[in-house]
Amino acid sequence: MSNLDRQATPTVCGGRGFVVAEPVRELLSPRRVQLGESTEVRRLLPNLGRRMVGAWAFVDHYGPDDIADEPGMQVPPHPHMGLQTVSWLHEGEVLHRDSLGSLRTIRPRELGLMTSGRAISHSEESPKAHAALLHGAQLWVALPDAHRNVEPHFQHHADLPTVTAPGLTATVILGELDGARSPGTAYTPIVGADLSLAQGADARLPLDPDFEYAVLSMSGEAEVDGVPVLPGSMLYLGCGRTELPLRAASDAGLMLLGGEPFEEEIVMWWNFVGRSHAEIAQARADWMTSARFGEVEGYDGGRLSAPHLPPVALKPRGRVR
């Protein structure tokens, strides 16, 4: 999914400057962003004071939106580099097209994983005949320096492993959880999991103490380590945890995001992840003037133009705390 912010500012992310080396409970409120003409998203990452969680660098939550009489999601072709996009739905469908020729309809609880590597472009849209509701999350994973120029590729996985406990089903989207590993390609130690809690559930989820974690609430009423987390908000949990207490007052849906703290500092702007302002500027110029990102065939409409890239003096990050 694209970042459609026309006032996008380069942001320094990564490194250990904001990593919390002990368990915390830091509730993050979203920023509301208009995505195209008909979809509003709640942006949780990057957030004021919290730029990344492991390699997770971007999190949008949207819906549930009633699109029965609307076109739904309509995101024209746009570029990516240096990252992976993770598409995750609870309701509805999204049609993915990319410059490699991939064409795939992503449905609820199916993984759509696009690795941009050195360069790719894609579009996302609700199919012309679509379900009445659209509800999901779009996430980005920053690629480490050793892999950020890999050949671009797209993966779709309809069958994903699960971890179960009384009242809890955890679907492993990316990485590994409690011995269950996703078939999606990961380039850093990471985990992404969809947590379905039944009303009255009281469970403890095993965690890796070397990872930092956050939990995004998708729906329902749930408590994460004793903290009520409302839909569209995210609780940052820090590092050093071996388990996570979860309780549900109603049926609830959560997403667990975690991973080893991302060691490298990155520069993130618009739909690009790089290592310097000059690299970002070159990617913008290439999208506007060259064939580097390829062409998306079959989308009914033009592609996105890049916003203005301001000259920015990027500041170093703070210290670990």
Q: What is the pLDDT of residue 317?
A: 46
Q: What is the pLDDT of residue 188?
A: 98
Backbone angles phi, psi at 181, to 5 degrees: -120, 135
- Indicate if the alpha-carbon torsion angle 240, 243, 249, 250 is positive or negative: positive
Confidence band, pLDDT 50/70/90 cuts, at residue 313? low
* Residue 37 scores a pLDDT above 90: no
Per-residue 3-state assignment (H helix, E strand, C coil) for 228-295: EECCCCEEEEECCCCEEEEEECCCEEEEEEEECCCCCEEEEECCEEECCHHHHHHHHHHHHHCCCCCC
Half-sphere exposure of 173 (CA within 13 A, CB side): 29
Q: What is the pLDDT of residue 98?
A: 98
Task: Give yes or no for a contact between 187 and 147, defined as CB atoms under 8 angstroms apart.
Answer: yes
* Residue 184 scores a pLDDT above 50: yes
Q: Is 308 exposed, middle or buried, given 0-12, 13-18 or 19+ CB atoms closer than 10 A? A: exposed
Distance CA 79, CA 92 (A): 24
Percentage with pLDDT > 70 across the chain: 91
Task: Give yes or no for a contact between 212 and 238, defined as CB atoms under 8 angstroms apart.
Answer: yes
User: What average pLDDT does range 216-230 have in this prediction?
Assistant: 98
Q: What is the pLDDT of residue 320?
A: 34
Distance CA 136, CA 289 (A): 33
Distance CA 250, CA 306 (A): 43
User: What average pLDDT does range 3-20 have in this prediction?
Assistant: 68
* Residue 247 scores a pLDDT above 90: yes
Q: What is the pLDDT of residue 269?
A: 96
* Residue 314 scores a pLDDT above 80: no
The mean of the pLDDT values for the chain is 92
Q: What is the pLDDT of residue 33?
A: 85
Q: What is the pLDDT of residue 49?
A: 76
> Which of 39-53, 116-130, 175-189, 245-259 is predicted with the least confidence, judged by mean pLDDT?
39-53
Q: What is the pLDDT of residue 318?
A: 40
Percentage with pLDDT > 90 across the chain: 84
Confidence band, pLDDT 50/70/90 cuts, at residue 316? very low
Confidence band, pLDDT 50/70/90 cuts, at residue 34? confident
Q: How far is it between the farthest Cα atoms of the chain?
A: 56
Confidence band, pLDDT 50/70/90 cuts, at residue 315? low
> pLDDT (tens digit, 9 = 90+) per residue, 126-178?
999 999 999 999 999 999 999 999 999 999 999 999 999 999 999 999 999 99
Task: Give yes or no for a contact between 57 and 13, defined as CB atoms under 8 angstroms apart.
Answer: yes
- Indicate if the alpha-carbon torsion angle 144, 150, 155, 161 is positive or negative: negative
Taking CA 300 as the corner, what is the angle to CA 299 and CA 304, rounded to the nearest 5 degrees? 70
H-type helices in the chain, by residue range? 277-289
pTM (two decimals): 0.93
Q: What is the pLDDT of residue 260?
A: 97
In sequence order, which residues have a C-beta less than 8 Å from that of residue 91 and are 6 or more positions away?
63, 64, 108, 131, 133, 134, 135, 136
* Residue 321 scores a pLDDT above 60: no
Q: What is the pLDDT of residue 319?
A: 34
Return the CA Rg of the chain: 19
